[in-house]
Amino acid sequence: MKSNTTAVHPLDAALALEPRGEHRWQGLAGPDWANMVGPFGGITAAQLLQACCLHPERQGQALALTVNFAAGVAEGEFEVEARPMRTTRSTQHWTMVLRQQGQVCTTGSAVFATRRQTWSAPELRMPAVPPAEAVAPERRMPPVNWPSRYEFRFVEGGWPDYRDASEQPDSRTVLWVRDEPPRALDAPALAAIADVFYPRIFRRRGRFTPAGTISLTTYFHADEAALAKQGSRPLLAVATGRRFTLGFFDQSAELWSDDGHLLASSHQVVYFKD
């Protein structure tokens, strides 16, 4: 397995899982994607999805992905088990487990599906925002590594400045975001970007508290053709909290193509300390 070099995109380096027998892959958690405790949740989600994508029995494309973060993944090797549980005519159901030294760190499930031409319609509409090129890229980055793997152009709700922040009436963030360096969009990249929002409680309270995603679910509305069409241009990403109570909150997010199609809906429940 290669570590990140100038020749390999950091996302591709993270997705370079090595087969280790039936239903099993080996990956490497490196410093490029480090968060406060273990790696950025989005990269773990992408790696679990990637194990399904690489599986020789895989049919169809990603439709749904759920990842449950049980314990931080330590820097170093990990094993992903990705097992097709049931394949029907149009869907394939997967169960995944990520382990280190035999201990379960992450569990997940995925559904892959064969899409067909049908009646189609949007319902949620993309918010009216300035185009990406009219929004300056954020230069400040939090003191962890993974945000440098993305370009953030915040339209609303950027990183809180805790020195003079106060409670906000809502926790909404709207931004243009793409991989940094730019990289063509595919399902694992989209799965990672679905977790690109800092925890909504930071914004809502205007202060930092230890927090971490417990469970993340993403629904993919885009087939490979739609992802290819988006290419490496920024996506519009929107996230808002729903309720904060008793040490947990949930947030819902949408990822839009720059021509206004909802590429993915994503939801997560997050632990916070106090």
Please report whether residue 64 would count as binding a copy of itself according to CB under 8 A.
yes
Please identify, using beta-carbon distances, which residue of 151 and 254 lies nearer to a copy of itself: 254
Please identify, using beta-carbon distances, which residue of 154 and 219 lies nearer to a copy of itself: 219
**Half-sphere exposure at residue 234, Cβ-oriented, CA atoms within 13 angstroms:** 22
Please identify, using beta-carbon distances, which residue of 234 and 241 lies nearer to a copy of itself: 241
Peptide bond connecting 181 to the previous residue in cis, omega within 30 degrees of 0: yes
Please report whether residue 228 would count as binding a copy of itself according to CB under 8 A.
no
Please identify, using beta-carbon distances, which residue of 165 and 214 lies nearer to a copy of itself: 214
Query: Is-contact 70 105, C-beta < 8 A?
Result: yes
Q: How far is the CB of 160 from a copy of itself (least distance, A)?
A: 15
Please pick, from the candidates 5, 6, 7, 121, the single residue that binds a copy of itself as defined by CB under 8 A: 121
Please identify, using beta-carbon distances, which residue of 192 and 270 lies nearer to a copy of itself: 270
Q: Distances in Å between the alpha carbon of 227 and those of 38, 44, 221, 262, 264?
A: 29, 20, 10, 11, 11
Please report whether residue 103 would count as binding a copy of itself according to CB under 8 A.
yes
Quote the DSSP letter at residue 34: B
DSSP string, 175-234: EEEEESS-----HHHHHHHTT-SPPHHHHHHTS---EEEEEEEEEE---HHHHHHHTTSP
**Angstrom distance (rounded) from CA 84 to CA 211:** 32
What is the contact surface with a copy of itself in residues (CB under 8 A)? Answer: 63-64, 66, 68, 70-71, 85-86, 88, 90-91, 93, 95, 97, 103-105, 107-109, 111, 113, 115-124, 170-171, 200, 204-205, 214-215, 217, 219, 221, 223, 240-248, 250, 252, 254, 261-262, 265, 267, 269, 271-274
